């Protein structure tokens, strides 16, 4: 698992280089890359392996977000700007892929693999057969192209609590709109656990459309 996290971290840090250098300069980026790598390596031995969870891929990004955020904080970047940079790093990464590939992934992954695994994940969660750092969910079958997931426990929040990075949330949660936008699927949610809701009530439809536009705010998009 550590190798996968390092791979994601390395690729995404590299794709963020141009944007960060344009805003903060080459020396800043050099320090950012080194510091975030240092923080990541310190965390990795303490990151639990949740195995073949439905959210195993999402889980890999948590330590990367925490390491980037800590490095930005070390370098004097204010919290709102640091959180927005994490958005930027993710958008720089996902926007590099060809649109047809993103469309295919959005439809195949969510309507196929993810949807099928969600049914089993719900059963395993109710039977208390999941890792303690895994997600606990309820799957809602709606129609051929649409389904819902209610999340009652979030592995990313559990990881954030372990390392002291709860302050990144619910900012990080809003990136579900970013990825849904690029995957050409519809997504909506009235709130998240990090917002204080009883669950994250996620609704997916593919194919579809989803606005990202963070400049418009997230008052009605949680």
Q: Omega before 170 cis (within 30°)?
A: yes
Euclidean distance between CA atoms 130 and 160, whole angstroms: 19
pLDDT, residue 106, reads 86
What tokens were used for 44? 């990795």
Nearest to 108 by CA among 15, 37, 206, 220: 206
List C-alpha distances in Å: 93 to 19, 83, 86, 182, 200: 11, 16, 11, 11, 25
Query: What is the pLDDT, as a whole number, of residue 45?
Result: 98
Q: What is the pLDDT of residue 111?
A: 76
What's residue 116's pLDDT? 87
Euclidean distance between CA atoms 92 and 98, whole angstroms: 13
Cα gap 167→138, rounded to integer Å = 26
Domain boundaries in the chain?
Answer: 2-216
Q: What confidence score (pLDDT) does residue 141 get?
A: 95
Structural contact between residues 156 and 172, judged by C-beta atoms closer than 8 angstroms:
yes
pTM score of the predicted model: 0.96
Alpha helices in the chain (DSSP H): 2-24, 26-43, 56-74, 79-94, 99-108, 115-126, 155-163, 175-182
**Over its length of 222 residues, how does the chain's per-residue pLDDT go in tens digits?**
999 999 999 999 999 999 999 999 999 999 999 999 999 999 999 999 999 999 999 999 999 999 999 999 999 999 999 999 999 999 999 999 999 999 998 888 877 888 889 999 999 999 999 999 999 999 999 999 999 999 999 999 999 999 999 999 999 999 999 999 999 999 999 999 999 999 999 999 999 999 999 999 998 899
What's the CA gap between 120 and 2, in Å, rounded? 26
Region of 25 on the Ramachandran plot (φ > 0 left; ψ -120 to 50 alpha; else beta) = left
Q: What pLDDT score was predicted for residue 16?
A: 97
């Amino acid at each position: 698992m550590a190798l996968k996290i390092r791979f994601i971290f390395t690729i995404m840090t590299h794709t963020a280089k141009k944007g960060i250098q344009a805003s903060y300069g080459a020396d800043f980026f050099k320090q950012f890359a080194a510091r975030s790598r240092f923080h990541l390596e310190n965390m990795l031995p303490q990151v639990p392996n949740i195995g073949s969870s439905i959210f195993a891929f999402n889980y890999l990004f948590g330590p990367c977000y925490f390491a980037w955020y800590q490095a930005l904080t070390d370098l004097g970047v204010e919290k709102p700007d640091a959180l927005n940079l994490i958005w930027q790093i993710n958008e720089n990464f996902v926007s590099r892929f060809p649109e047809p590939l993103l469309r295919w992934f959005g439809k195949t992954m969510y309507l196929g693999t993810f949807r099928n695994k969600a049914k089993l994940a719900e059963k395993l969660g109710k039977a208390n057969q999941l890792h303690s750092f895994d997600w606990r969910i309820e799957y809602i079958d709606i129609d051929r192209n649409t389904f819902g997931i209610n999340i009652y426990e979030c592995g990313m929040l559990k990881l954030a609590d372990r390392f002291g990075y709860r302050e990144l949330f619910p900012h990080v949660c809003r990136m579900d709109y970013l990825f849904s936008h690029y995957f050409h699927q519809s997504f909506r949610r009235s709130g998240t656990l990090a917002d204080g809701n009883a669950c994250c009530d996620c609704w997916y439809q593919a194919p579809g459309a989803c606005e990202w536009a963070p400049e418009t705010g997230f008052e009605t998009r949680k």
